[in-house]
Amino acid sequence: MAPTPRAELGIPTRWRFLVPVLLCAACAAPSGPNDQAPRSGIPVLVYHEIRPDGSQAGETVISLARFNEQMRYLAERGYTTLSIGELVAFMQGKPLRARRPIVLTFDDGWKSVLQALPVLEEHGFKASFWIISHTGIGDPHLDWSDVVGIAANPNFEIGSHTATHPWDPVENLVTWADGRVPGKGLPEISFELEASRRELERRLSRPIRYLAWPRGWYNDALIERAREAGYEATLTTDEGVNSGGDDAYRIKRLFVDGACDLQAFERMLREARYRVCQTSRRPTQGSSPYPYQERNR
């Protein structure tokens, strides 16, 4: 006797042909707003100043309230923060078992980042702080006691942001390396990279392996100097995410514009592109200072 239709499943015979179609549609449906991270690599976010009132919010300033909102967003959606060492290991081919990995970085060592620490600790987030060892110590920057205290937290790490942070579009590490600034060249570049590393290591009694370029500006000659100075990776502000097999001396990062709302922050994570929301100044973009010189003429 032929089997009867599967009435026990509650599916009338005339609708049974729709079941595979519906199941297929469910599998293909988008995962919704909770799936914002790029699947092709790991984003690295760069923050600077954290201000309670949010005054002058923009490329290098974000309000504490907005920062808190962003960190809560990452926590609620299951992001896993990585150290720079974990990121570099992944880029060099080590398998990574982390759900929605992301990296948080704070440049320039502003004293205001102390306000971010309780927020990071609340969510158990890892973060790195990039210190200007010679001219970026003391108000409005962190004191050495602050730097030592941050380094004592196992979730936080300290990296070099050079000795004096040459950042002017005309006078910077790139123009020094290109021989465009009289009296500045390889010896001065070596000082910026090596003196910073030595001072940080002396103060913290631990190796300093990573360097963040001032304003993200660099070229091949500077990469070679960083290798010679003993750095194992350097951070840029080139847009995009970082994938296995990428060059650890060219780690990509995304500026977090403090004038952007949460929707723009979500879009930045989804597209892995710097979202410019502030209108008071031209944004800093790319690895070279020369286009910036042209824009400011």
Segment (H or E) for 65: helix 64-76
Residue 24 has a pLDDT of 38
The DSSP-derived string for 215-233 is GG---HHHHHHHHHTT-SE
Task: Return the CATH number at 109.
Answer: 3.20.20.370
Longest Cα–Cα distance of the chain, Å, equals: 98
In whole angstroms, give the CA distance from residue 102 to residue 46: 11
Tokens of 164: 């004096």
Asked, for residue 166, whether it belongs to a domain, the answer is yes
Up-side HSE of residue 140: CA atoms within 13 Å toward CB? 8
Tens-of-pLDDT digits for all 297 residues of the chain?
Answer: 444 443 343 444 444 434 343 333 333 333 333 444 345 799 999 999 999 987 778 788 999 999 999 999 999 999 999 999 999 999 999 999 999 999 999 999 999 999 999 999 999 999 999 999 999 999 999 999 999 999 999 999 999 999 999 999 999 999 999 999 999 999 999 999 999 999 999 999 999 999 999 999 999 999 999 999 999 999 999 999 999 999 999 999 999 999 999 999 999 999 998 888 876 677 777 789 988 776 555
Helices (H), 97-217: 117-123, 144-151, 173-177, 186-204
In whole angstroms, give the CA distance from residue 226 to residue 220: 10
Asked, for residue 11, whether it belongs to a domain, the answer is no
Tokens of 49: 């100043």
Asked, for residue 48, whether it belongs to a domain, the answer is yes
Asked, for residue 23, whether it belongs to a domain, the answer is no
Asked, for residue 151, whether it belongs to a domain, the answer is yes
With beta carbons less than 8 A apart as the criterion, state whether 277 and 54 touch: no
Number of domains in the chain: 1
Asked, for residue 17, whether it belongs to a domain, the answer is no
Residue 57 has a pLDDT of 80
Domain, as residue range, for 214: 42-295
pLDDT digits (tens, 9 = 90+) for 82-113: 999 999 999 999 999 999 999 999 999 999 99
Residue 1 has a pLDDT of 43
Asked, for residue 24, whether it belongs to a domain, the answer is no
Asked, for residue 109, whether it belongs to a domain, the answer is yes
Residue 295 has a pLDDT of 58
Tokens of 190: 């070596």
Distances (CA, A) of 47 to 18, 199, 203, 247: 51, 23, 24, 22
Residue 292 has a pLDDT of 77
Which residue type sits at 41? G
Residue 55 has a pLDDT of 75
In whole angstroms, give the CA distance from residue 5 to residue 12: 8
In whole angstroms, give the CA distance from residue 223 to residue 183: 21
Distances (CA, A) of 40 to 26, 92, 98, 100, 270: 23, 15, 14, 11, 11
